[in-house]
Amino acid sequence: MVYNFIKTTIDTHIFTLTLDRDSKRNAFTPTLVNEVAHAIALVNSLKEIKLFVLRANGSIFCAGMDLKVYQNPELDEFNPTIENKDISLAQVMDTLEKPSIAILEGDVIAGGFMFLLGCTYVFAKKDIQFKLPEIALGIFPFQVMAGLLRIMPEKKVIQLCLDPTSFSAQQAISYGIVDAILDHEKLKVLMDSFANKSTEAMQAGIRASKELRSMDDNLRYSFLLKALTALKDNPEVKREMEKYNKDGV
């Protein structure tokens, strides 16, 4: 598949998506968002893919929405092989059903937060900066706020959204936005650890975690029991369980 604004590679069990619009600070357009959606749908469908890795070319990981293009869609560079649907980046990232790692080697600004808030793990170079400048522009980072509310207390989220100044990777770790400073050796160990993990189990667990968000507390346990039963009935899972029992582990 040929994309305009992203690059993708597959290496054994790892699918890597690289934002590749560095001349525009990797600011996203409707076409870029739809290309990411297309790639994620592929990741979800391929059984051999166990891990999704997100990176970016250039000194800025993502500067958020390309406001010029959103104000004038004709400036976008359409991909003729993909239908541009009216979908948000946060919505696209939430469709991901595989474990994911965001590797941040450049600054993250505004709507760029939506990329990393949709990932399971986030690692950042120690010298990069994070910034939500929207309030200084007379707008508000509504979609970023929704993602932040899953990892931070509401009061702290509002404070962050009201502060347009930059903050460090270390501060991002204290907020729960970033998991750790990027260490390539430790990252490789983590990435390799997914090679022998069950795709079905990981995918089922991630789907269930998203279903639970809007579910009434009284329905959660019955839902999870049904999810477990469905997973146990999967032929591949049955074979693994039989092997486990036979080995007496």
DSSP string computed for 78-122: --TTS------HHHHHTT--S-EEEEE-SEEEGGGHHHHHTSSEE
Predicted confidence at residue 219, as pLDDT, reads 73
Query: Which residue's structure tokens are 């934002």?
Result: 19
- pLDDT on residue 227: 75
pLDDT of residue 249: 46
The domain ranges of the chain are: 6-192, 199-247
> What pLDDT shows up at residue 213?
83
- For domain 6-192, the CATH architecture is Alpha-Beta Complex (3.90)
Query: Which ranges of 135-216 does DSSP label H, i.e. alpha helix?
Result: 142-148, 154-161, 169-175, 184-192, 199-212
Residues 6+ apart with CB under 8 A from 188: none
CA-based nearest residue to 162, from 189, 132, 184? 132
The per-residue pLDDT string of the chain (249 residues; one tens digit each, 9 = 90 and over) reads 899 999 999 999 999 999 999 999 999 999 999 999 999 999 999 999 999 999 999 999 999 999 899 889 999 999 999 999 999 999 999 999 999 999 999 999 999 999 999 999 999 999 999 999 999 999 999 999 999 999 999 999 999 999 999 999 999 999 999 999 999 999 999 999 999 999 999 999 999 999 888 777 667 667 767 777 777 677 776 676 566 556 654
Which position has the token pair 């910034």? 131
**146 contacts: CB under 8 Å, gap ≥ 6:** 90
